[in-house]
Amino acid sequence: MLLYNSQVSGNCYKVRLLFAHLAIEYDRLEMDVVDRSNRREVLGELNPALRVPTLVLDDGRSLGESNAIIFHFAEGTQYLPEDSFERAQVLQWLFYEQYSHEPNIAVARFWALFDVSPPSSADHELKMKAGRAALQAMDAHLTDRPYFVGERYTIADIALYAYTHVAPEGGFELEPYPAIRAWLQRVMGQPGHVPITA
């Protein structure tokens, strides 16, 4: 399989981390996340969102959206519960991650890492506020649970770990969230864990 990848992208890291846990082999093609001028040419037929990660299977079929990719490859493994309601809870957190977490925390990090100007200072402040609210909700949920769903490590943890552990790069302090900090350690201690740089 071929992964259209960005090494700095937390969304791509979710796929790389699950594939490391599952010992799935694949090739990578690195895409620029600042100069996106070749996106339509390279990804136009593969992913309507023109984003990374995009995965091309050995039979040529392609799949986009990080959380769709990890859900697909987690099916039938220990990283996705078999119970129907627990699977729905995993999906709840995957959608939470893409709607309430990533658009704030990942985007603020992107602006900071690549020195990109936000549309307005009001927009930047809104993203910081919404990002802190997303972290607060995670911290509250983790206060009496080791992992997000079903008391074990699943793709819900993989998806939320991706941008949470690098949130300080976007200006988000993790010191106010002790339950998140303890959970980050548990995630890093999983067999087969690899860092975002791997």
Query: Where do contacts with a second copy occur on this chain (CB under 8 A)?
Result: 48-49, 61, 63-69, 71-72, 75, 84-85, 87-89, 91-92, 94-96, 98-100, 102-103, 119-120, 122-123, 126, 137-138, 140-141
**Lookup: tokens for 145:** 């649970």
Q: How near is the Cβ of 191 to a second copy at its closest, in Å?
A: 25
DSSP secondary structure code for residue 60 in this structure: S
State the minimum distance, in angstroms, from the CB of residue 121 to a second copy.
9
Q: Which of 37/84 has CB closer to a second copy?
A: 84
Structural contact between residues 162 and 191, judged by C-beta atoms closer than 8 angstroms: no
CA distance 18 to 155: 8
Asked if residue 70 lies in contact with residue 86, where contact means CB atoms within 8 angstroms, the answer is: no
Residue closer to a second copy, measured from CB, 130 or 197: 130
**CA triple 75-30-193, angle to 5 deg:** 45
Least distance (Å) between residue 189 CB and a second copy? 24
CA distances from 112 to 23, 24, 31, 149, 172 (A): 33, 33, 19, 32, 11
CB 13 to a second copy: min, Å? 16
Residue number with CB closer to a second copy (120 or 185): 120
Query: Burial level of 191, CB count in 10 A (0-12/13-18/19+)?
Result: exposed
What is the smallest separation between the CB atom of 166 and a second copy, expressed in angstroms? 19
**CB-count burial class (<10 Å; 0-12, 13-18, 19+) for 21:** buried
Decide whether 120 or 197 has the Cβ nearer to a second copy: 120
Instruction: Report how far apart, in Å, the C-alpha atoms of 124 and of each of 153, 156, 164 are.
Output: 32, 27, 18
Smallest separation (angstroms) from a second copy to the CB of 119: 4
C-beta closer to a second copy: residue 103 or 193: 103
- Cβ distance to a second copy smaller for residue 85 or 114: 85
